Structure 1
């Protein structure tokens, strides 16, 4: 007997085997690292019509932690395309995350 790998075609029938990928444990660790483990889930991943600006007097954030969290979110987008827009939006501020502020 030989192992020919996964079945893909049998008696004129194409066989598609389902493969499911998940990153729930990774997402939980990312939430813990960002201090949001106790936050409630929501339907939309970002506030509607949110406008962030680089010119701000808001408290400075840890740039290294911000970049690390955004990088983690960018990795999470592979299995969660619903957060892609929000992650792309906050990725714009990776150059200088110290002065991000929301609506005034």
Structure 2
């Protein structure tokens, strides 16, 4: 099984998971952290920015996954990447919404 195909499946799945919280926040009209805020990933961005960021993640993730997840190894890589991304996002956004710095603060802890 080609390593690039496994990496592509994993990265695509992670991008699709990342599209969800940004899209939900944007659709609800709530500010939410994006890489375009100040500081990146911690500051709040407007709902329109979140919808755009969600769309970019969904398109890129969809294109990567659409290239085909054909082997069991690719399915496992995609599932693991999606789960890991969801856990990292849960920690990061939960900490940021409580006033912390999310994964950015791990360097200083």
Question: Same fold by TM-score, threshold 0.5 exceeded?
Answer: no
Report which of the two has the higher share of helix.
Answer: 2
Q: Which structure: larger Rg?
A: 1
The TM-score with structure 1 as length reference comes to: 0.28
